[in-house]
Each structure stands twice: as C-alpha cells, then as structure tokens.
C-alpha cells in the first residue's frame, strides 16, 4: 500500500513538473516582465517631474521620451506576440512633454496590458510569423526575445539617467529604501 501511494505521489509530482515545463520560454518572458515592470515603473516614479526633459547629450532621447517609448513598445509588441488588437488607450497619442503622471500612468497601463495579453501565449505558437516595425516578418519567439531585450536596454538607460541626476535606480536600492 505504501509503495502504491509513493508511486501515485511521484506521478502527481511529475505531472506538475511537466506542466510547469510546457511553456519555459513564455514563462521566462512573463517572469522577466514582472521584474522589469518594477524596475521601469520604479525608475519613472523616481525621476522628478522637472527632470523628464533631461537628456545626457543632444543625440539621446529625453527621459520623458524614454518612458513614452517603453509604453508604446509594450502595446505594440505584446499585441503582436499575443495576436490581439492593442487596447484603445494604447492608441492615445502620448507626447514626451506630457506630465509625469500621464506618462507613468501610461507605462503602468502598458505593463498591465502586456500581462493580460501574454498570459494566453504559449510556446507552441512561438514559430508563428508576425509583422513588426516596417512590415518586417519575424517569429513570435524573436519578438518575445526582443521585448525582454528592450526592457533591459531601456532600464539600463533609465538607470543611467537617474544616476546622472544623483538618484539611485530601483535595482540599486536596498529593500525598504
């Protein structure tokens, strides 16, 4: 009897492991999104409103443009990866000179949208070709990897902008700071 219970328990545990491993790519994208949402929205909240026009050099985008760009990219890429229309609020024209509150709200909303849209995407669909910028075709897998790369790239940019203004980025702060 004990052996039968052990075998049944092992079978149940193995089915949970198999289920957890059925979407390792998109599960990883969703996990990265959770961390980068905290980093990017935290950076947007940390930067003072009067510094949203800051740019280290004339060739670089302003901090406000960076926040706007991430929000717009989230709507675009998450809708393409999920194969759904972007939300109506994603079509609202943002401007880099919009007030901080509006840009932060748009950024938060874009991550909420991505969470909802990407929740339904599984690895079996990642080979599907989609159109991205300029009508270029790529598999959903490439767009998902590009999305996580964009979050990392733009967070490092936001972190640099914060540090140039004497502020610590969220990932450099001790818990509770």
pLDDT at 133: 84
Map 84-106 to HEC letters: CCCCHHHHCCCCCCCCHHHHHHH
Q: What is the pTM of this model?
A: 0.84
With a cut of 70, say whether residue 3 has pLDDT above it: no
The H-or-E segment that residue 109 falls in is: helix 100-118
The H-or-E segment that residue 170 falls in is: none
Q: Tell me: the pLDDT tens digits for 22-80? A: 889 999 999 999 999 999 999 999 999 999 999 999 999 999 999 999 999 999 999 99
- So where are the chain's domains? 24-172
Q: Tell me: the pLDDT tens digits for 119-129? A: 989 999 999 99
On average, the pLDDT of the chain sits at 89
Domain 24-172 CATH superfamily: dinb family like domain (1.20.120.450)
Q: Tell me: the pLDDT tens digits for 76-115? A: 999 999 999 887 754 568 899 999 999 999 999 999 999 9
pLDDT at 70: 97
Residue 27 CA to residue 55 CA, distance in Å, equals 35
């Amino acid at each position: 009897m004990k052996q039968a219970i052990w075998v049944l328990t092992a079978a149940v545990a193995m089915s949970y492991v198999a289920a957890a491993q059925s979407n390792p790519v998109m599960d990883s994208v969703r996990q990265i999104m959770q961390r980068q949402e905290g980093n990017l929205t935290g950076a947007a909240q940390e930067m003072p409103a009067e510094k949203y026009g800051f740019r280290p050099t004339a060739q670089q985008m302003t901090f406000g443009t960076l926040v706007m760009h991430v929000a717009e990219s989230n709507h675009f890429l998450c809708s393409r990866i999920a194969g759904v229309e972007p939300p109506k609020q994603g079509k609202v024209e943002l401007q880099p000179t919009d007030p901080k509150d509006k840009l932060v709200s748009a950024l938060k909303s874009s991550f909420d949208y991505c969470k909802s849209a990407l929740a339904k995407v599984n690895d079996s669909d990642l080979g599907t070709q989609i159109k991205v910028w300029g009508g270029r075709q790529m598999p959903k897998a490439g767009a998902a990897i590009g999305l996580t790369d964009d979050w990392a790239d733009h967070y490092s940019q936001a972190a640099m902008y914060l540090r140039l203004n004497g502020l610590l980025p969220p990932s450099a702060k001790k818990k509770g700071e």
